Amino acid sequence: MSKRRIDWTTGQVYMEKTMAPAVGFSKGPSWVHESPFLPIGWEEGSPFGAPSLKHLAMRKTLLDQRNLTPELFASVPWRIASYLWECLGRSGKKTMYMWKLFATVYPREFRQIANYRALKIEGPKLPMRDYLGLVKDDALNWVVALTLSTEFARTPELVDIGNVKNIVALEISTTPSKPQPDPDEDAVPVAVLDDRIVRTWSELAQTSGAFKHLRVLRIYHQEKLSPIVFQYLRVFPSLRVLVVQDCRGLTPDSAEAVAKTYGWEIGTRPRAKDNNEETDIYDSDTVYECYEASGPLLDGERRGEEPFIDPDTPILDFQVGQAVWKGMSKKARKLVFLRKGPIEVNVADPAMGKRRLEEPEPPNRKKTKKPVMKNLGGKDLTGFLAEFL
């Protein structure tokens, strides 16, 4: 409803209208990029007569997905749920919300028909923390392959990635041509991945089990990283593939010696046939494809000793921001580090979570003794006071 207002200072008359927030924001961030409603008029009638009660019940149930929760499906058998999923496909409303709901309520049956879901958001409309909340699932009903552009994140939000316990593949990138904000403006500066953030991730891995299932990590255009990250990454038990490109502090000359210290090797990269040509499987366009290609690295490792998840677990391929590989040449050089087996780290020691990780010494560096102050036998304060008495 509009109301007429008067600004008594200037004498201007204007109309003021109170508006409700957009429907997408009314019940959380799930409906900002997808609509929960069935298309208008979709299968309202039937050319052969009145619709069946089953059809009417289906339409009533799916009319507004915002009202559906896992608790409502607790007593619904799979044969009915599979029918609803089929109807969502016909109407074009297989939203990420319903995919997560069915993966939660029907963990065995649903993975047989919808084991993969992708959502690419190149123009984010929400804070990065809200997107992290959308893909998080501590119960591991599904896992996530996450691609993030730091232009849309703040440093605390990059740290919060460690709270996504079901992450299996992660890509962090920054567009090189992205202009930096004017320091005179109030804009939030572009976040970057640096040694301090990776160190915090390492501490979370030791204290709260963060990154327990992370197998693939890809990093592009992060200039504030140094070889010390290999020490921090050593406590990630499932990490097997690290892909680095355009990171000035991580080059073969600067990182190879430190990487080998923590069980990594360079250059052993599986290859596959693509149009009769051999290509590097770690040149895959998406981090999800790289994750799928890294499966052979797990051969020979016993399932009971490693925290690897069930390979049939549904996976969500989620992207926030434009992927950096879209503007990169296929011939651009990537530095790939592989770790074939776990590194034994005593993370059960409670002191590990509090002790600050020390930077490894450069190779071939001679150890020197620390200077020790000699006791010259001088007078103490009592002796000096005695001289004045």
Q: What is the pLDDT of residues 152-171, one digit of tens each?
A: 999 999 999 999 999 999 99
The residues, ordered by sequence, that sit 6+ positions from 340 with a Cβ below 8 Å of its Cβ are 240, 263, 265, 297
- Whether residue 95 is found in the same domain as residue 174: no
- Could you read off the pLDDT of 213-264 as tens digits, one per residue? 999 999 999 999 999 999 999 999 999 999 998 898 998 888 888 999 898 9
* Tokens encoding 383: 């002796």
| Residue 345 scores a pLDDT above 70 | no
Q: How far apart are CA 94 and CA 102, in angstroms?
A: 11
- Whether residue 156 is found in the same domain as residue 259: yes
- Residue 344 host element (H or E): none
- Could you read off the pLDDT of 272-298 as tens digits, one per residue? 545 555 556 566 778 999 998 887 666
- Whether residue 78 is found in the same domain as residue 140: no
- Of 61, 82, 114, the residue at which a domain comes to its end is 114
| Residue 353 scores a pLDDT above 50 | no
- Whether residue 159 is found in the same domain as residue 68: no
Q: What is the DSSP letter of 386?
A: H
Q: Is 203 helix (H, G, I), strand (E, B) or coil?
A: helix
Quick one: pLDDT band at residue 24, thresholds 50, 70, 90? Answer: very low
Mean pLDDT, the chain, as a whole number? 80
The residues, ordered by sequence, that sit 6+ positions from 51 with a Cβ below 8 Å of its Cβ are 43, 45, 59
Q: Are the C-beta atoms of residues 117 and 316 closer than 8 Å to each other?
A: yes
- Whether residue 106 is found in the same domain as residue 119: no
| Residue 97 scores a pLDDT above 70 | yes
- Whether residue 100 is found in the same domain as residue 198: no
Instruction: From 322, 335, 172, select the one nearest 248 (Cα to Cα).
Output: 335
- Whether residue 193 is found in the same domain as residue 261: yes
- Output the DSSP codes for 43-109: T-SBTTBSPPHHHHHHHHHHSBGGG--GGGGTT--HHHHHHHHHHHHHHT---HHHHHHHHHH-HHH
Quick one: pLDDT band at residue 142, thresholds 50, 70, 90? Answer: very high
Q: Is 288 helix (H, G, I), strand (E, B) or coil?
A: helix
- Whether residue 119 is found in the same domain as residue 204: yes
Best-predicted range by mean pLDDT among 160-174, 188-202, 264-278, 335-349? Answer: 160-174
pTM, two decimals, is 0.78
Q: How far apart are CA 183 and CA 189, in angstroms?
A: 8
- Whether residue 182 is found in the same domain as residue 197: yes
376-385 mean pLDDT:
52
> Given this model, what pLDDT does residue 30 score?
93
Could you tell me which residue, 197 or 27, shows the higher pLDDT?
197
- pLDDT-above-90 percentage for the chain: 51
Domain-embedded: residue 285: yes
Domain that holds residue 313: 115-361
Domain-embedded: residue 188: yes
Domain-embedded: residue 375: no
